[in-house]
Structure 1
Amino acid sequence: MASEATTLIVDGPGGPRNLRISSPSRVLWPELGLTKLDLAGYLVAVSPAFLAANGDRPVSLQRFSGGIDGEQFFSKNPPKGTPDFVRSVPVTYPSGRSHPQLVLDEPAGVVWAAQMNTVVFHPWASRAGNTDNPDQLRIDLDPQPGTGFPETVPVALELRSILAEAGLTAFIKTSGNRGLHVFAPIEPTHEFLDVRHAVIAAARELERRMPDTVTTAWWKEERGGKMFVDYNQANRDRTMAGAYSPRPLPHAPVSCPLEWDELATADPAAFTIATVPDRVAERGDPWESMHSSPGTIDTLLGWWNRDLDAGLGELVFPPDYPKMPGEPPRVQPSRARKTS
């Protein structure tokens, strides 16, 4: 029986490449009937903006063996058969181990990832040439049960003001679900732990200004209906869906960069792999100028030290991290009370 595979001709800096797409009619988003070939076509269409946001960074690939409802796994190291135009760089993980991690540099590499059944792309906050020092400060605004995107908007606007006070220019994108991601370009002069502390300082300031709305509580039982500022996304080897990355939800949404003046009326469900190519072609990329004037985290680190002096210390790290200096007990509060 003849193979169903097809070939896409993908332009790039080295000229066109022929990319084989096996099973192009495999349905990834069943409700919409969107296929693997549709995904590859989307990634080609937005590849300049996609690579500006996600290229030249270590990236983890969230791959699905079938459709988005099937089994999934993450690829970090180059899998067998990785083409020579997809490079890798050594990165150090929280355990102290070092391994090569994939880096995407051209549209053909992104299409190859789609051929490998990648749906979600998770780039690091640091560049391939300096993996230990992030050049982006990232803050994930995570709505809790009973809240959604509309409740996230005023929080994001206040956070923008706080970052501006700290000398940083904020950029915004939808998460592809209910939340928002706020990024700020920074000079890559501090390692991940420092950037984490800068994020915590900004989050605590946001919590002080919106105490009935915002929380930095790691444990879900302590959050109630408040918006969680997920400071742990700033850690080494912690990533979120990249700009223009599809998400594995039934309506095929995309984590879409926005202009700030769009935010109040934006509908995150409207940004999908079917609609975002036309949006980018017509409006351009809101993040195009992101790294033209990076700031520093010096002011935020000053706030961190101020809070340390006031008795506010380190916060809980993710469960797979080694015990970190100054970290409070990594145990759910209700369980700790029962134990005591």
Structure 2
Amino acid sequence: MSAASRGGRCVVLPVEGREVRLTHPDRLLWPREGITKAQLVEYYLQVAPLMLPHLVDRPLVLTRYPQGIEGPSFYQKQAPHPRPAWVRTCPIAHEQRVVDYVVADSPATLAWLGNLAAVELHPWMSTVADPEHPDLLVIDLDPDPPSGFEESRRVALWLRPALEALGLQAVPKLSGATGVHVCIPLVPRHPYAVTSRVAAVIGQVLADLRPDLVTAERLVRRRQGRVYVDPYQNLRGKTVVGPYSPRPMPGAPVSVPVTWEELQHVCPSDFTVANWSRWLPGRRDPLIEARRRPQSLEPLLRRGLVEARPERA
């Protein structure tokens, strides 16, 4: 990272013809790992070619950690003030108010977000041009301890042929924690009420077939160490953490799309803010490629989800 000027605890960072002010660059965001705000910004700039295709033209929700991941945090939908004139925003109407969301469409905006200590970036599953019709459905696999990543991996690998039997191709994404997001690119034709219902029915079918391993139970106390299939992140205004977003967890893991072959052997610690130089160079993104071939839910809806159930794991 090069700086045009340094003054006290502020760096002016040139990014593709724009100037990004980086305040307190040495502030530790992951104290145990020694990862600073400047290193987070550097990561965002390096990952931008893969990250931006998942963020461009989408309302963005931020999770900010101004004092680092061990300090207070807050969830932010309204675009922060003040902000540079070149930071794009979009207004989205909600029941009680209109929210002006950030739209991350450039490396400079990612750097600016890094300076805000926006550790997690959560894009909507629909675009600003058509916010009511998602172009992504996510089967969110969230293990309840003592279940963990291995159980999430097992459920995801079992789910793949089940989805293919329903005519759907999916891409797995490590959540960066212990979960897996099974991502299904869609033609943006149906409202969130439909996509969330599809996710809920899939989750219930999985839970019915493997109640020892999977649950659709919303109450945490009733999950009993199983993998929860959470359909509710597919509702309007809800999100899952975006591709390549860091997570505010020990080790600074990153949520990364992987191939089904990779899913069989990778683990969350393989992809972190600290080790990006090992996994990022030359990496191809299977989710970007899959989003070029969006799928329709029409055949599935006409057929009826209950007609095709996956085999037992």
Look up the match of 1:334: none
Residue of structure 2 equivalent to 1:186: 186
Give the secondary structure class of the aligned counterpart of 2:132.
strand
The question of whether the paired residues in 1 share the 8 Å contact of 2:12 and 2:20 is answered with yes
Q: Tell me what 2:14 maps to.
A: 9
- Over 3 Å counting, the alpha-carbon distance change for 1:166 and 1:92 in structure 2 is farther
Could you tell me which residue of structure 1 aligns to residue 4 of structure 2? none
Which residue identity does 1:251 align to in structure 2?
A: G
Distance 1:102 1:126 in 2: 14
1:269 lines up with 2:258 in the alignment = no
Q: In the TM superposition, what whole-angstrom CA distance separates every residue of 1:284-306 from its partner, at most 9, and x where no partner exists?
A: 22323021111112244346675
- 1:1-340 → structure 2 map (5 Å cutoff): 2-11=7-16, 16-93=17-94, 95=95, 97-302=97-302
Asked if structure 2 preserves the Cα contact closer than 8 Å seen for 1:158 and 1:206, the reply is no
Q: CA deviation at 1:238?
A: 1.1
How many pairs were matched up? 302
Q: Is residue 201–residue 301 contact of structure 1 (8 Å, CA) maintained in 2?
A: no
Shift of 1:278: 3.6
Q: Equivalents in 2 of 1:276, 1:136: separation in Å?
A: 26
2:280 and 2:69 mapped to 1: Cα distance? Answer: 25
The separation in 2 between residues aligned to 1:284 and 1:305, in whole angstroms, is 33
Q: Aligned partners of 2:177, 2:303: CA distance in 1, in Å?
A: 31
Listed as ranges, the gaps of 5+ residues in structure 1 are 308-340
Residues 1:299 and 1:144: Cα distance change in structure 2 (over 3 Å): farther
Match of 1:321 in 2: none
Offset, 1:222: 2.1
Instruction: Give the match for residue 313 of structure 1.
Output: none
Whether contact under 8 Å (1:168, 1:294) holds in the other structure is no
Residues 185 and 294, structure 1, Cα contact 8 Å, conserved in 2: yes
Give, in whole Å, the separation in 2 of the partners of 1:166 and 1:228.
21
CA separation of 1:96/1:192 partners in 2, compared to 1, >3 Å: closer, same or farther?
farther
Going from structure 1 to structure 2, the CA distance change for 1:277 and 1:182 (only over 3 Å counts) comes to farther
Amino acid of the structure 2 residue aligned with 1:45:
Q
1:210, CA displacement in angstroms? Answer: 2.4
TM-score (norm 1): 0.84
The 8 Å contact of residues 22 and 115 in structure 2, kept in 1 or not, is answered as yes
Cα distance in 2 for partners of 1:304, 1:6 equals 57
Q: Which amino acid is the alignment partner of residue 98 of structure 1? A: V
**Cα displacement string for residues 88-127 of structure 1 (whole angstroms, at most 9, x for unaligned residues):** 222233x364322111111111111111121100111111
Report percent identity of matched pairs.
37
Separation in structure 2 between the aligned mates of residue 200 and residue 159 of structure 1, nearest angstrom: 14
SS in 2 for 1:113: helix
- Kept in 2: contact 1:134–1:191 (CA 8 A): yes
- Report deviation, 1:276: 2.8
After superposition, the CA RMSD in angstroms is 1.9
Q: Distance in 1 between matches of 2:277 and 2:55?
A: 17
In the TM superposition, residue 45 of structure 1 has moved relative to its aligned partner by: 0.3
Which residue number in structure 2 is paired with residue 322 of structure 1?
A: none
Whole-angstrom distance in 2 between the partners of 1:304 and 1:87: 41
Judged with a 3 Å threshold, the aligned counterparts in structure 2 of structure 1 residues 305 and 261 are, in CA distance, closer, same or farther, namely closer
The unaligned stretches of length 5 or more in structure 2 are 1-6, 308-313
Aligned counterparts of 2:75 and 2:224: Cα–Cα separation in 1 = 31
Distance 1:142 1:152, change over 3 A: same
Deviation at 1:186, TM superposition (A): 0.3
Whole-angstrom CA distance in 2 between matches of 1:269 and 1:196: 30
Is 84-93 or 139-148 further displaced after alignment?
84-93
Mapped partners of 2:78, 2:220: distance in 1: 32
For 1:188 and 1:306, locate their aligned partners in 2 and report how far apart those are by CA, in whole Å.
Answer: 23
Amino acid at match of 1:57: R
- The CA deviation string for residues 70-102 of structure 1, in whole angstroms up to 9 with x for no partner, is 111122112212222221222233x36432211
TM-score (norm 2): 0.91
* In structure 2, distance between residues paired with 1:214 and 1:52: 32
Shift of 1:134: 0.4
Higher mean alpha-carbon deviation, 47-56 vs 269-278, is at 269-278
Match of 2:3 in 1: none
**CA distance in structure 2 between the aligned counterparts of 1:154 and 1:184, rounded to whole angstroms:** 18
